[in-house]
Amino acid sequence: MLIALKKNLIYCLGILFILLNSILIYNEFYYFLLFPLALIILYLAFFKIEQLFLLIIFCTPLSFNLEALDMVGGFGIYLPTEPLLLGLLLVFIFKTIRSEKNRLNTYWRHPISFLILIQLVWITLSAISSEMPIVSFKFLLSRLWFVVPIFFLGLHVFKKGIPTIYAFLWAYLTPLTLVLLYTLITHASYGFSEESGHWVMWPFFKDHTSYGAIIALFYPIVIGLMTDKENSFFTKNILRIIFIIFSVALFYSYTRAAWISVFGASLVFLLFVFKIKFKYLFSFGLTALLFIGINFTEISFMLNKNNAEHTTENFSERVESMSNISSDASNLERFNRWNSAIELAKQRPISGWGPGTYSFVYAPYQDASDLTIISTNFGTGGNAHSEYLGPLAEQGIPGLIIMLLLVFFIFYRGSYLYLRLEDPKLKRLVIMLLLGLVTYFTHGILNNYLDTDKASVPVWGFISIIVAIDLFLAPKQKA
């Protein structure tokens, strides 16, 4: 009897929905069609949160920016990922407060988790003293809905074992491959020209540089998966096809920073193969950074002597232009943005100008000698072009120090974890993720994309996997 009543109730609700929706469609109101989808998402959020997590990962490469489509008067938000991430943030906070108060105590024990918390706290403090508080608190909110669901909820998901980690990687890799195929097919119709190569990835990516950065980020992942001997014959061949797609897409991204970041990851891989001690690398890197820092003014002066524009579709010439920074306009414009960031930091060295404010405040701090053929007189249309100098300008010296410490501990703890792991599957995962992050944080010297879902989701996801292996999966080897 009860079962029959439930069935009748379902039928009645279904008929009611159809009738109501028909009336609304007749009156040109179509949004009620999304109501069943909203119910499914609510169900997943409260009862199947891991499935919702993976759904968001899958949607990320396919997301688009409303601002780019001119749909809502310049309101920039990535659909469907950012609204879903905001909802997931609220659900995660609710569940943590209600029933899992001890979960975070375990997470804070790890230095990477602790540094991420410190970074969020400092962003909050910088937002309070910001030149533009509304902009800064919007930046803070977006950082929260990227970091909390992807990193902290990710820890809860990834600690369950290797299958969940592979599910995450495939959930992003599969739609990303489809986006690359779409882009390559569109690009081919324009003869793979460099000019069209700057926009054919739209609406999935805003430009070729962010497109190239994500290809480079997943390039070591694809190679790592492809060379796994435990894969079936079918999986191996699928991964070989994906590798070819990624290689062609990387080449025709016309993104020099992506090319050099992949080369950098290859060098780091060789360091692991030949087991060069970390202390020697650290000493060399620290010496190089100190030299550049002490002589930055002189180096910048020499590099800005020539501001002619230089573009070419020839691969060897484009690679050469990466080092020929004194005659390439895009490279010179980066120096303009970097010098502006340093000037901003000189004015507010402690708290910075506020998270997310760089593009609004840097214009008066451009030096006339730094301006290039692609500079804008009013400082519109861009950020600091650096994951390091951006925080320096917006969050002050403490913001830069926190960012550098975070990157340092990611690679230090990740490298140490790789060396002490015994499980070959875990070792393969860690080295793949580390090399992927090498490409991003190398690329981060020249560009910054952590304010976009395309980069934030995989980057924070990779970091979360490394921490989850370190905290939960590695200790199980000894049990």
Give percent above pLDDT 90 in the chain: 60
Spell out the domain ranges in the chain: 55-283+385-478, 285-345+366-370
Give the pLDDT mean for 319-344. Answer: 73
Confidence band of 66 (pLDDT split at 50, 70, 90): confident
| Token pair listed for 363 | 């214009």
User: 204-225 pLDDT, tens per residue?
Assistant: 998 999 999 999 999 999 999 9
The yes-or-no verdict on residue 448 having pLDDT over 80 is yes
Q: What is the pTM of this model?
A: 0.87
What pLDDT is stored for residue 373 in this prediction? 73
Confidence band of 296 (pLDDT split at 50, 70, 90): low
CB hemisphere CA count around 240 (13 angstroms): 8
To 10 degrees, what angle do helices 162-188 and 453-468 make?
150
What pLDDT is stored for residue 307 in this prediction? 39
What does the mean pLDDT of the chain come to?
84
Furthest C-alpha separation in the chain: 87
Confidence band of 304 (pLDDT split at 50, 70, 90): very low
Q: What are phi and psi of 308, to 5 degrees?
A: -75, 150
What size, in residues, is the chain?
479
Confidence band of 185 (pLDDT split at 50, 70, 90): very high
Q: Hey, is 265 helix, strand or coil? A: helix
How many angstroms separate the CA atoms of 47 and 171, rounded?
20
Q: Averaging pLDDT over each range in 81-85, 100-104, 301-305, which range is the top one?
A: 81-85
Q: Which of 11-15, 146-150, 441-445 has the lowest mean pLDDT?
A: 11-15
Q: Taking the chain, what is the end-to-end CA distance rounded to the nearest angstrom?
A: 52
- Alpha carbon 330 to its chain centroid, in Å, reads 22
Question: Where are the strands (E) in 126-206, listed by range?
Answer: none
Q: Which of 53-62, 128-137, 290-299, 376-385 has the lowest mean pLDDT?
A: 290-299
User: DSSP characters for 170-214?
Assistant: HHHHHHHHHHHHHHHHHHHTTTT-TTGGGTTTTTTSSSHHHHHHH
Q: What are phi and psi of 111, to 5 degrees?
A: -60, -35
The yes-or-no verdict on residue 308 having pLDDT over 50 is no
Q: Which of 22-31, 117-126, 201-210 has the lowest mean pLDDT?
A: 22-31
Give the other-Cβ count within 10 Å of 38's Cβ.
Answer: 12
**Higher pLDDT, residue 360 or 478:** 360
How many angstroms separate the CA atoms of 57 and 163, rounded?
15
